[in-house]
A and B are shown apart, each in its own frame.
Chain A
Amino acid sequence: MSAAALAGVLAWAVIRPRDWPEAVAAVPAAILVTATGAIPVHAAVAEARRLGPVIGFLAAVLVLAQLCADEGLFRACGAWLARGSAGRPGRLLALVFVVAAVTTAVLSLDATVVLLTPVVFATAARLEARARPHVYACTHLANSASLLLPVSNLTNLLAFAASGLAFGRFAALMALPWLAAIAVEYLVLRLFFAADLAVGARPVQARSEGEPGVPVFAVAVVAVTLAGFAVTSAAGVSPAWAALAGAAVLAARALARRRATVVQLARSADVPFLAFVVSLAIVVAAVTGNGLGQVLRPLLPAGTSLPALLAIAGLAAALANLINNLPAVLVLLPLAAPAGAGAVLAVLLGVNIGPNLTYTGSLATLLWRRVVRQHGPGPSLAEFTRLGLLTVPAGLALAVLALWAALHAIGG
């Protein structure tokens, strides 16, 4: 019964009937599995309580990213990319990599997908550069560059809570895998799109009139917030408070300048989504407790040897590609957590890098998309898939190797 509830929740999330939020199916499903005893009430409450701070953390980061966009941060990024590329598409790609990797790491992958990608496209178009390599850089790095910090991806926030690592230690262990994954993406995209990158672009020299400047205040708040993550976490306080403080400062400024309303701010915190995550976690816990755990546990190797880490990451990537990485990480975390931080981080490598194999983040979404598009010519999937096959296995293997090295150098 819990499995059916989970299938229903995921199907709803993929199909989204009438564009209703995912929570519409997930909340009743969570109530159902609790009411029928598939998960004990105290366990469901504990799950919700454990996830509360994680969800609050995420909400604060979502608001922070949106307020940075409102302050013109991404427009300023576009202007910087245009000037810095000096008419050379290869240079533009390198700068897009820097901006997309930092945006993803600091403001989460949502910011890169929703806020940065259109700006990068507009910049490439303005320079008359072919947009393909730069747009693919954004969509790929939104996944593979989301390894560095707990705030970079919701999957990381969930794993961060389960791993017991401090913020700084998490970042230190993931820095090398993050760089390894980015390096693989860069090399592959450079070669894959060599023909597009060879033709010149139009140089944009001096700062033009009316060009957006860097929103210094917003950048300073983000920098202080970032430092706050490390400081609060080292002091044993939840870093969610630092995120909340950063979002509150920018929100107060936006409200004072009448650039945002309370309603807009609440909307960017995305309350239905937060309810969806908690409900999904409860349903997944019910399924894992009623059989799925026993099925998957033997598949997950114990220990943190290099082959074990590779197998864990591979399994996580496969599951993420089947059903999307959010349910995948919820399923795998309780199984990996007893083996220690190394195993948890290997799960993250799999669920974060893996989704680049299917451009919609999961096979389920991809298949549904094909069903919907049956009656129209869809764009070719060959290119997405080729690019995914070239980057994901290599990126995953190198990132696992880097994690293994980091675990040995720093200690889990």
Chain B
Amino acid sequence: MAIQNQPDRHEPSYTEGEARSLDTGEREYMLDVRTQDMELNMGPQHPATHGVMRILIRADGELCTGAQPHLGYLHRCAEKIGESVEWLQYLPYTDRYDYLAAMNNNLGYSMAVEKVMGLEIPRRALMLRTICAELNRIGSHLIAYGTYGLDLGAFTPFLYAFREREWMMALFEKICGARLTYSYIRIGGVFNDAPPGWLEEVMRFCDVFDVKWQEYVDLLMNNHLFVGRTADVGVIPKEMAIDFGLSGPMVRGSGIDWDIRRDMPYELYGEICADGAFEVPLGTGAKGTLGDCWDRFYVRVMEMRESIKIVRWCLANIEPGPVLADIPKTLRVPPGEAYVAIENPRGELGHYVVSDGSKVAVRCRVRGPSFSNISVTEALLPGTLVADAVAIIGSTDIVVGETDR
């Protein structure tokens, strides 16, 4: 039976539960052998859900006919806490929603508060912030790379990715003392200056990483079996990507040229971009269809190298100086509000803060990229195999801490 692509796959049909349309007589000729659809409860404890998420899959044998993600198992009231603790005290909580890219969360929150305050950040602090955010992007993409391999049954890439991530975490351990929840980038700059020798070690890390990166590509990304599992699977057309509010590697995998670092530059990224130090990798459909799982994976792997370029640029241009703006010990933010979107490894991470001039925020809203990105699974899963469901969920690279917050 030849299965043809529908020419325009972004027709509204994807928003409906596909399973229901099956009951309306489209396979009457199969009724004699028809069996009952099975409800498969993937999660909350399942190796492929990357945390505690639950996806209810309706399956006809190996074929998914419907899927429904259930969120909220990791809900920790992060936004409400933001309204009850002081400005600086909320910083450790930002570490904890996207715990794989805590530096980026720190950065987003700090930038939002700084925007309300109208603070001027010292240049060295900006450099350190950029280095840390990009190193953390590498670390996060390494996890995405490794766990995607795990989802597809390849164990070794995961350990290789963790080997480099371990070094990255050791670097962070040296600069701020923590390995996962850094709380390093703070309102007004960063907490500490880099210890002596740290920047040189980052340089060494970049040099080694370039070599290892080629191994990642050879071992997993270009492996024929891996390509077979990911190419043409979970295709998100451009319009669909926009409709679902996807961001980050998810839209770039669909070929949409959108990167907040370049298109809405913040901090030093405008300068870096003007220098041509990094480019935005896009999915091309090289191995299958544009916007498939392989393209998203490809974008992540290529972004690691681009991040290395940004770090190198910062290392070349960093100069001594203060790392913290002149701010009072007890932070009082003038009345006002601000929304700041930054490019998290997973997409657009937005922080919206409202201040009434007191020590505590009135509203602290987070727009998490994982939350939007996971919503697409419901539309993508029907019609795929159960094994593909795992591949698609893995390719969204969600962090459940962030979807639930």
- Answer yes or no: are A and B bound together in one complex: no
Interface positions of A (Cβ within 8 A of B):
none
